[in-house]
A and B are shown apart, each in its own frame.
Chain A
């Protein structure tokens, strides 16, 4: 069964304290892996798409990496404004199906 698991569920960091969020996935084949940021009371905001193992993408203090079984979202020297829930999703290669599987997210709190 296709599955996405994110860890940890919640993470508290001091400002400047770098860390990583994990997204483990089990799918029959990967068409794409997506990272989103969600602020309270808002819709998910697109961050990155990764397609193949070894791929990396960066945006400001965020860097996403992908292996055959998991993806990491590395946060370098975070600031309080990075506080949000970070969602991971995968799109399996199941043909003819519009299917994205979402994890339950990691709630990140960055303290000043």
Chain B
């Protein structure tokens, strides 16, 4: 069982470049989300989705875009990368009802913007 799969694992971008972090889950979870993790700060929610075709902003959405065309996939797009977006990004998923609302995380994507 693969769970939550993220690609790429590592990426270096130049300021102003755009890219997409891919996320897929095979648990038929309704909820999917993207977090960033920075030193000394807790995981912060960027965007989330409660189902296919539905997305909403989290705590730190600026500079990022998402879409949810299928239940399984939830890509995160960096529109014009900035050094402040250097971080570790985690995709997560959970059931909407039941399952204790527990969220399950991917292995992370390390992004450096130079």
Q: Do A and B bind each other?
A: yes
Residues on A facing B (Cβ under 8 Å): 4, 31-32, 34, 36, 41-46, 49, 51, 87, 89, 91, 98-105
**Interface residue from B4, B42, B105 paired with A104 (Cβ < 8 Å):** B42
B residues contacting the other copy or chain, number (CB 8 A): 22
Interface hits, B1-39 → A, CB 8 Å? 4, 31, 33
Q: What residues on B are CB-neighbors of A100 within 8 Å?
A: 43, 45, 103
B45-A42 in contact (CB<8A): no
User: Which A residue's beta carbon lies closest to that of B105?
Assistant: A43
Is B74 in contact with chain A by the CB < 8 A criterion?
A: no
**Interface residue from A34, A51, A98, A105 paired with B48 (Cβ < 8 Å):** A98
Residues on B facing A (Cβ under 8 Å): 4, 31, 33, 40-45, 48, 50, 56, 90, 100-108
A32-B100 in contact (CB<8A): yes
**Interface residue from A98, A101, A103 paired with B31 (Cβ < 8 Å):** A98
| A interface SS class | strand
Sampled A-B contacts (16; CB under 8 Å): A32-B101, A32-B102, A36-B105, A42-B108, A43-B105, A46-B102, A46-B103, A46-B104, A49-B100, A49-B101, A87-B43, A89-B42, A89-B43, A98-B31, A98-B50, A104-B41
Q: What residues on A are CB-neighbors of B4 within 8 Å?
A: 43
Report the Cα distance A44→B100, complex, angstroms.
17
CB distance from B4 to the nearest CB of A (A): 8
Report the Cα distance A75→B35, complex, angstroms.
28
A43-B90 in contact (CB<8A): yes
Report the Cα distance A98→B54, complex, angstroms.
13
